[in-house]
Amino acid sequence: MNIIDGEKVECGRCDEVISLEDANVLGKTNNRSYAKPLCDGCLKKVGVPKGYELERDVSYLIEN
């Protein structure tokens, strides 16, 4: 996951730039090094596949 300007990230599916406050992050349950940010629209289309967990609040990643 590449953070842009300290507070934005690209959706891993549609490449829309979204704020970290609005990002949803899918991560593999058994692999903490995998994190795929998704915008709300893509999350609605994809859902949370088996073996993944959803983290909705990633605002702690914002760099000031």
* pLDDT tens-place string over residues 14-35: 999 999 999 999 998 787 678 8
Give the Å distances, CA to CA, from 45 to 32, 41, 49, 62: 23, 7, 11, 26
Across-strand partners of 36?
Answer: 26
State residue 7's pLDDT score. 93
Give me the chain's average pLDDT, please: 89
